[in-house]
Amino acid sequence: MRLIVSLLLVVALAVTAFSFYQVYTEKIRLRGELEGRTIVLAESLQESVTPLVQSNSLKKLNRLVERFGNRERLKGVAVFDREGNILSSTPELIPKIPKPLPQIISSITENRSLGSFIKIDDKKTYIYTIPISEEDRLIGALALFHDASYMDLRLEGIWEHNLLRFLTMSILIVVITLLVVRWSVTGPIAQFAEWMRELRMGKGKVTQPSASLRGDVLAPLISEVTHLAKSLSLARARAEEEARLRVKAESLWTASRLKEHMRAELGRKKLFLISNREPYMHVKEGRNIGCIIPAGGVVTALDPVMRICDGVWIAHGGGDADREIVDENDKLRVPPEEPAYTLKRIWLTKEEEDGYYYGFSNEGLWPLCHITHTRPIFRLEDWVHYQRVNEKFADALLKEIANEESPLVLIQDYHLALLPLLVKEKRPDAKVSLFWHIPWPNPEAYGICPWHQEILIGMLGADIIGFHTQFHCNNFLDTVDRFLESKIDWEHFSVDRGGHTTLARPFPISVSFESLSDKASAIQEKASLKETILKEIGIQAKYLGVGVDRIDYTKGIPERFRAIERFLEKYHEFVGEFIFIELGAPSRIHIKRYRDVMTEIEEMVDKINWRFQTKRWKPIVFLKRHHRHEEIYRFYKTADLCMVTSLHDGMNLVAKEFVTSRADEDGVLILSQFTGASRELKDAIIVNPYAIEGMADAIYLALTMEQDERSQRMVRMRQVVREHNIYRWAGNLITILVRLRMPEVLEQERD
């Protein structure tokens, strides 16, 4: 009612103001028309009346006056002498004309025409007087009396019509407001109430309610309520899972278990995580600022852990709007929708970023460790920038841990190999771990690096160094044994150098496993998603494959496309039936090798599509941009197969993300034997990405595999990822780090 009354009040004020203006302008227009007609008639009569008055021909004057007095809206005509006496007049007017008529006196006295309104018979009358003269001698005056009552009627009609319009508009406003409010407010609220009641009773689904699809004013509230409902449902699911595990005495790691475990292990200690890439990047989107999650396994794996720990993540701020979001200490709370931990950003100059990141890290260490037939490039100036940036990260970290006792520090990846020693030199009490997310090469390959000793010394400042596989641990210890004077304990996989012991351990990193969908709803969702995706890209197909990669020469994307081409050559029945969608995130485009591989991929896609495509179908769709996780999971859930064909990889979390997304227990994973994930996901179709023929046959096997076998393979892989998830990884790594200095640790390991 308040909304309706407010709207009606505003409309009433607007209609009233408009009516006043309309009446005012109409009044001026009508008067102007009346005056114009009267002047024309008066001047024409003046020419006829003047000689009659001059000759005193009253009979002719009376006939003339009577003839003109019968015209429409003209009440009559009167002729006066120079003293204001009536010489001749329309008979009906004689008793009604005031004597003397003030306007006639004024017109004769001032020798000018005058017009004004008077009342005659209670009707508005317009009187116009014009002097009569002969050879500059005033001999009388002529008066015309016009009925002007129609003007008032016209103005009253405007008020009546506008009142009618106001009443009509009021009725429409009331009806439309009630309908819109019911559609956009009360209706959705009622649906929300019912939806929330079902959730409270455990009957509802976690999906967003249909009311949110209307795009109404409640969209922000709908979004927040949906997030709240998902959080509550997730908490309920976790509680039920924990209860089930307690009953079965299982040891599955969950977010809540990790939280309780870390609370017991850390107490009130914070966890300090350092990486080059930030978990959330702010970028300018026109006049607005958007928040995106950068592509990469480090962010995917560690963000869920940091949400639990409420620690501090230190990273390079690479977004073009990053500086506009942070506070005076270059910090902000993330994630934006549900802040759970602190992000501190480090700023690098263009020269530092070029030398440290694009130069030494990605033109030197990256190809060196991946051994994918791309020659590493090492420049002295890049090495200098690498050292300076590591020192910059060290300064920021030391400032953050200044008031912390025995702080726990997790350093991530090859960008920060010197950081462990820089921290230990200033804070020997800090417990430092370095996790190396990429492969570690054999000693012969590693020896290519001109500063191989300096990097090893920096890394050995850590108390524990983690790799994805035991094979990488062995390579690392062999490398240290080859290039540094140290004591290698192969029984405990540790390095003793200068009185400091560093453990090398395999910690296969993973992803979180939190699926709230049941199998039936997942199957139903898959069908609708597939139809939607194919409609979006404008292609008709029966089978759909997907690849999700950061565009990199180590990911084996050209080899994957060659295998698809060979598959279509060998198995013609799938031409027009199978489509492969590649979600490629461009990266490191400042490096020529990355630009070359992008060009190679695009040319290969064009070549294959040109060869096989029809009007409504083409075999490969290359979507080259950064994709949000929500977008990627749509393709995961829909695909009949997912191809991970890395030429060399530490773990590759895309494989595990695909498995976690398949609540429908369907889909086939084609996985390179050169990934760390292949050691765990043995029910994938394991391939050699260099063997194009074998990969083509693997695609055929995946698309023709029986439903039961597909389901059994996926169930087993999901169980592996569920048990070896990111919470288990974090729990094991942090537990060993926290207890590292305790004398009983090595003894426990011996037992």
**pLDDT above 70: residue 247:** no
- Are residue 298 and residue 238 in the same domain, yes or no? no
Please state the domain count of the chain.
4
pLDDT at residue 748 tops 60: no
- Count of beta carbons in the 10 Å neighbourhood of residue 142: 27
* Secondary structure of 685-712 as H, E, C letters: EEECCCCHHHHHHHHHHHHHCCHHHHHH
Quick check: pTM over 0.85? Answer: no
The token duo for 264 is 């017991």
Looking at residue 392, what is its pLDDT?
Answer: 96
Q: What is the CATH number of the domain that holds 468?
A: 3.40.50.2000
Asked if 240 and 269 sit in the same domain, the reply is no
Domain-embedded: residue 531: no
Q: Work out the percent of the chain whose per-residue pLDDT is above 70.
A: 89
For 619-644, what is the mean pLDDT? 92
Share of the chain above pLDDT 90, in %: 47
Task: Indicate if the pLDDT at residue 215 is higher than 60.
Answer: no
Instruction: Answer with the residue of higher pLDDT: 579 or 4.
Output: 579
In a domain, 453, yes or no: yes
Same-domain status, 341 and 477:
yes
The residue behind tokens 């007049």 is: 89
Q: Helix, strand or coil for residue 184?
A: helix
According to the model, what pLDDT value does residue 135 have?
Answer: 76
Same domain flag for 234 and 113: no
Q: Are residues 231 and 280 in the same domain?
A: no
Give the pLDDT score at 106: 87
Q: Single out the residue of 656, 649, 698, 646 nearest to residue 681, CA to CA.
A: 656
User: Is pLDDT above 80 for 198?
Assistant: no
Nearest CA to 640 among 694, 719, 548, 702?
702
Q: pLDDT tens across 709-734, in order? A: 999 999 999 999 999 998 888 888 88
Which one, of 658, 651, 650, 511, lies nearest residue 583 by Cα?
Answer: 658
CB–CB of 702/668 below 8 Å? yes
Lowest-confidence segment of 183-187, 459-463, 522-526 by average pLDDT: 183-187
Instruction: Give the model confidence (pLDDT) of 77-106 as tens digits.
Output: 888 888 888 888 888 877 888 778 888 888
User: Can you give the pLDDT at residue 249?
Assistant: 40
pLDDT for residue 146 is more than 60: yes
Domain that holds residue 474: 263-348+385-506
- For the cut 80, the answer to whether the pLDDT of residue 14 exceeds it is yes
Residues 239 and 283 in one domain: no
Residue 103: the pLDDT is 86
Is pLDDT above 80 for 747? no
482 and 392 in a common domain: yes
What is the predicted pLDDT for the residue at 204? Answer: 53
Domain assignment present for 340: yes
Neighbours of 203 (CB within 10 A): 9
Are residues 30 and 133 both part of a single domain?
yes
As a whole number of angstroms, the distance between CA 376 and CA 475 comes to 19
Contact 543, 640 (CB under 8 A): yes
pLDDT at residue 213 greater than cutoff 50: no
Residues 9 and 100 in one domain: yes
Note whether 271 and 242 are same-domain residues.
no
Looking at the structure, tell me whether residues 314 and 445 fall in a common domain. Answer: yes
**Res. 409: pLDDT tops 70:** yes
Position 152 confidence tier, pLDDT thresholds 50, 70, 90 = confident
Q: Determine, yes or no, domain membership for 673.
A: yes
Using one digit for the tens of pLDDT, what is the confidence trace for 315-340?
999 888 999 999 999 999 998 888 98
| CA 208 to chain CA centroid, nearest Å | 17
Chosen domain end from 100, 125, 154: 154
From 202-206, 376-380, 733-737, the region with the lowest mean pLDDT: 202-206
Mean pLDDT of the chain: 87
Q: How far is CA 252 from CA 174, 322, 508, 600, 676, in A?
A: 59, 38, 16, 44, 21
Task: Please tell me whether residues 275 and 228 are part of one structural domain.
Answer: no
Report pLDDT for 743.
Answer: 41
Q: What is the H or E stretch that residue 128 is in? A: strand 123-134
Quick one: pLDDT at residue 745?
Answer: 41
Residue 325: inside a domain, yes or no?
A: yes
Flag whether 200 is in a domain: no
Least confident of 242-256, 599-613, 621-635: 242-256
Q: Is 726 exposed, middle or buried (0-12, 13-18, 19+ CB in 10 A)?
A: buried
Which of 154, 174, 192 represents a domain boundary (last residue)?
A: 154
Q: Of 117, 139, 154, which one is at a domain's C-terminal end?
A: 154
Mean pLDDT on 515-543: 83
CATH number of the domain that 142 lies in?
Answer: 3.30.450.20
Sheet containing 543-550: which strands, arranged edge to edge?
620-624, 578-585, 543-550, 641-644, 668-672, 685-687
Report residue 371's pLDDT band, with 50, 70 and 90 as the boundaries: confident
Examine residue 372 and state whether it is found in any structural domain, yes or no. no
- Residue 371 in any domain: the answer is no
SS3 739: coil
Q: pLDDT at position 54, please?
A: 77
pLDDT over threshold 80, residue 226: no
Residue 607 has pLDDT above 50, yes or no: yes
Please state which of the ranges 19-33, 231-245, 284-298, 440-454 shows the lowest mean pLDDT.
231-245
Measured distance CA(604)–CA(321) in Å, rounded: 35
